[in-house]
Structure 1
Amino acid sequence: MTRAAVLGAGSWGTTFAKVLADAGCDVRLHARRPELVQAISDRRENPDYLPGVRLPDRLRATVDPADALDDAEVVVLAVPSQTLRGNLTVWRELLPPDATLLSLMKGIELGSTKRMSEVICEVTGSGTGQVAALSGPNLAREIAEEQPAATVIACSDPDRAAVLQAACHTRYFRPYTNPDVVGCELGGAVKNVIALAAGIAEGLGFGDNTRASLITRGLAETARLGLVLGAELTTFAGLAGLGDLVATCSSPLSRNRTFGEKLGRGMTVEEVQQSTRQTAEGVKSCRSVLDLARAHGIDVPITEAVVRVCHEGEAPAQMVREIMSREAKPE
Structure 2
Amino acid sequence: MSKKVAVLVAGSWGTALASVLAANQLDVIMWTRGEDQATEINNKHTNQRFLPDAELSPRIQATTDMAKAVEGASAVLIVAPSSAMRSVAHQLKAHYKPEMLIIHATKGFETESLNRMSTVISEELECEEGRVVVLSGPSHAEEVVKRCPTTVVVASLDKASAEAAQGLFMNAYFRVYTNRDMIGVELAGAFKNIIALGAGMSDGLNFGDNAKAALLTRGLAEITRIGVEMGANPLTFSGLAGIGDLVVTATSQHSRNWRAGSLLGKGQKLDDVLNSMGMVVEGIRTTQAAHFISQKYGVQMPIADQLYHVLFQERQPRDAVEALMGRDPKTEMEVMTLETWEQWHS
Same fold (TM > 0.5): yes
Q: Partners of 2:224 and 2:277 in 1: how far apart?
A: 31
State the partner residue of 2:4: 3
Letter in 1 for 2:134: A
Mapped contact 2:229–2:297 kept (Cα < 8 A): yes
**4+ residue runs of structure 1 moved beyond 2 angstroms?**
none
State the partner residue of 2:270: 269
State the partner residue of 2:309: 308
**TM-score with structure 1 length normalisation?**
0.98
Matched, 1:149 2:178: no
Root mean square deviation of aligned Cα: 1.0
State the partner residue of 1:60: 61
Q: Partners of 1:23 and 1:248 in 2: how far apart?
A: 26
How many Å apart are 1:129 and its aligned residue? 2.8
Aligned residues: 331
Mapped contact 2:42–2:60 kept (Cα < 8 A): no
Structure 1 gaps, min length 5:
none
Mapped contact 1:62–1:68 kept (Cα < 8 A): yes
Letter in 2 for 1:24: Q
- Map of 1:234-245 to 2, 5 A cutoff? 234-245=235-246
Letter in 2 for 1:87: V
Question: In structure 2, the residue corresponding to 1:94 is in which secondary structure?
Answer: coil
State the partner residue of 1:45: 46
State the partner residue of 1:320: 321
Q: Deviations over 1:289-313 (max 9, x none)?
A: 1211211111100000111111111
State the partner residue of 1:18: 19
How many Å apart are 1:27 and its aligned residue? 0.9
How many Å apart are 1:9 and its aligned residue? 0.6
Q: Deviations over 1:227-265 (max 9, x none)?
A: 111111110110000000000000000000100000000
Q: Partners of 2:216 and 2:143 in 1: how far apart?
A: 21
Bigger mean CA deviation after superposition, 56-65 or 252-261 = 56-65
Mapped contact 2:256–2:277 kept (Cα < 8 A): no
State the partner residue of 1:188: 189
How many Å apart are 1:90 and its aligned residue? 2.2
Q: Deviations over 1:92-124 (max 9, x none)?
A: 111223211111100011121110001111111
Letter in 2 for 1:108: F
Q: Partners of 1:279 and 1:61 in 2: how far apart?
A: 21
Question: In structure 2, the residue corresponding to 1:285 is in which secondary structure?
Answer: helix
Q: Partners of 2:27 and 2:294 in 1: how far apart?
A: 41
State the partner residue of 2:108: 107
State the partner residue of 2:283: 282
State the partner residue of 1:202: 203
Bigger mean CA deviation after superposition, 105-114 or 89-98 = 89-98
State the partner residue of 2:218: 217
How many Å apart are 1:2 and its aligned residue? 3.0
Letter in 2 for 1:185: E
- Map of 1:68-217 to 2, 5 A cutoff? 68-217=69-218
Q: Partners of 1:289 and 1:103 in 2: how far apart?
A: 21
Question: In structure 2, the residue corresponding to 1:137 is in which secondary structure?
Answer: coil
Q: Partners of 1:68 and 1:233 in 2: how far apart?
A: 38
**Fraction of identical pairs, as percent:** 38
How many Å apart are 1:71 and its aligned residue? 1.6
Bigger mean CA deviation after superposition, 181-190 or 225-234 = 225-234
How many Å apart are 1:25 and its aligned residue? 1.6
Letter in 2 for 1:309: V
Q: Partners of 1:103 and 1:218 in 2: how far apart?
A: 25
Q: Partners of 2:306 and 2:91 in 1: how far apart?
A: 36
Mapped contact 2:260–2:277 kept (Cα < 8 A): no
**TM-score with structure 2 length normalisation?**
0.94
Q: Partners of 1:85 and 1:251 in 2: how far apart?
A: 30
Letter in 1 for 2:110: E
